[in-house]
């Protein structure tokens, strides 16, 4: 036996709320308070589902809501909390008085997450033509990546052609190599049964110091005699965007940032057992590349770190936990 629906769907209105409906809902709640959402529509004379009423009230009508653009402080709070909480927008919203989870969710989806790019397999997934076109052509309204394209991009995980691996530093128009998806690193099984995966990190960096950031990463990857490897895995990706290709050896028992390393002798160019987890935890700034325990933290200033927004880590951190 199926579960009883939350309300009778038939005869109920959907879509945009009218002023009249808003007024009915406000008046009812002001007079009676919030009780049972299920019975509220009937009592208030609304042809709406209780859930719809609740959502309308919580996200739009209650008078303690703050309207308008997010301040820089709020944005920083969202970014910071998203790093640790992931997409739990309700918890994030609890730290931002007057803001709703829906508002934050929309803001994250439409603004903040566009500042970074998702991982994609370096070798398996071709970059959609529309994205190449968008990045390479003259700026339209925005140089950022749209939701629709990003979604299409993220969902195109069934394509398995192999794009050319090229590096084209200082050329902002053609150095698109591959793409990666953070939440779903492609894994493949080798003949000996070990797992390996490869990913690319797309990053959008802001400001005129883009070249500095680019060189920072490149330098990090060239430390300890792995000369030229930086160029092999770093590409300038267009205006204020760059791409980092990572091949990861996931044969270790667990994904753990602790043993990130560069191994030029390995058939795969660079090895990091946990590129995804480490990136999401900002560990890319502190990679102990050669595993000698040397602290690399001072390679980056806080200001530099702040220029890069990392994608959600919720899925990845849960794998480590």
Partner DNA sequence: AACGGGCACAACCGCAACTCA
Partner DNA sequence: TTGAGTTGCGGTTGTGCCCGT
Per CB under 7 A, residues contacting DNA are 1, 3-4, 6, 13-17, 35-39, 48-52, 54-56, 59-60, 87-91, 101-103, 105-107, 109-111, 114, 130, 134, 138, 140-142, 144-149
98 Cβ contact partners less than 8 Å away, ≥ 6 residues apart = 64, 65, 66
316, containing H or E segment: helix 314-320
| Phi and psi, residue 196, nearest 5° | -145, 160
Nearer to DNA among residue 48 and residue 218 (C-beta) = 48
What values do phi and psi take at 21, rounded to 5?
Answer: -65, -45
114 or 286: whose CB is closer to DNA? 114
Shorter beta-carbon distance to DNA: residue 114 or 245: 114
Q: How far is the CB of 129 from DNA (least distance, A)?
A: 11
Pair 25, 54: CB distance under 8 Å: no
Burial label, 223 (beta-carbon count in 10 A; 0-12, 13-18, 19+): middle
Q: For the purposes of burial, counting CB atoms within 10 Å of the CB of 159, is it exposed (0-12), middle (13-18) or buried (19 or more)? A: exposed
Q: Among residues 131 and 221, whose Cβ is nearest to DNA? A: 131
Considering the complex, state which of residue 60 and residue 232 has its C-beta at the smaller distance from DNA: 60
* Burial of 252 from C-beta contacts in 10 A (0-12 / 13-18 / 19+): middle
Quickly list DSSP for 66-86.
Answer: --SPPPHHHHHHHHHHHHHHT
Shortest distance, CB of residue 164 to DNA, whole angstroms? 24
Query: Which is nearer to DNA, 15 or 293 (by Cβ)?
Result: 15
Nearer to DNA by Cβ, of 52 and 236: the residue is: 52
Minimum separation from the CB atom of position 279 to DNA (A): 18
- What is the nearest approach in angstroms of DNA to the Cβ of residue 233? 27
Q: Smallest distance, Å, CB 305 to DNA?
A: 24
Structural contact between residues 175 and 132, judged by C-beta atoms closer than 8 angstroms = no
SS3 170: coil
Task: Tell the smallest beta-carbon distance from residue 210 to DNA (Å).
Answer: 19
Q: What minimum distance in Å lies between the beta carbon of 75 and DNA? A: 12
């Amino acid at each position: 036996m199926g579960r009883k629906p939350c309300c009778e769907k038939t005869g109920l209105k959907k879509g945009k709320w009218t002023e009249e409906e808003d007024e009915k809902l406000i008046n009812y709640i002001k007079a009676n308070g919030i009780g049972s959402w299920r019975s509220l529509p009937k009592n208030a004379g609304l042809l709406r589902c209780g859930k719809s009423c609740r959502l309308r009230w919580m996200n739009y009508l209650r008078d303690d809501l703050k309207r308008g653009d997010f301040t820089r402080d709020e944005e920083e709070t969202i970014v910071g909390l998203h790093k640790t909480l992931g997409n739990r927008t309700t918890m994030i919203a609890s730290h931002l008085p007057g803001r709703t989870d829906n508002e934050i969710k929309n803001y994250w989806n439409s603004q903040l997450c566009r500042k970074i790019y998702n991982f994609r397999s370096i070798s398996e997934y071709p970059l959609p033509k529309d994205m190449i076109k968008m990045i390479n052509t003259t700026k339209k309204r925005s140089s950022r990546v749209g939701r629709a394209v990003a979604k299409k991009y993220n969902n195109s995980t069934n394509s398995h052609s192999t794009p050319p691996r090229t590096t084209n530093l200082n050329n902002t128009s053609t150095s698109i190599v591959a793409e990666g998806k953070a939440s779903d690193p492609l894994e493949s099984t080798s003949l000996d049964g070990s797992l390996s995966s490869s990913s690319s990190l797309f990053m959008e960096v802001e400001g005129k110091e883009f070249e500095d950031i680019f060189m920072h990463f490149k330098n990090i990857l060239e430390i300890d005699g792995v000369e030229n490897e930086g160029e092999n895995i770093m590409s300038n990706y267009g205006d204020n965007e760059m791409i980092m290709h990572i091949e990861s050896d996931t044969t270790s028992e667990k994904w753990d940032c602790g043993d990130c390393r560069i191994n030029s002798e390995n058939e795969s160019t660079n090895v990091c057992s946990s590129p995804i987890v480490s990136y999401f935890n900002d560990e890319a700034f502190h990679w102990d590349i050669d595993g000698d325990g040397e602290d690399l933290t001072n390679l980056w200033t806080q200001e530099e770190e702040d220029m890069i927004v990392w994608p959600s880590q919720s899925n990845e951190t849960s794998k480590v936990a």
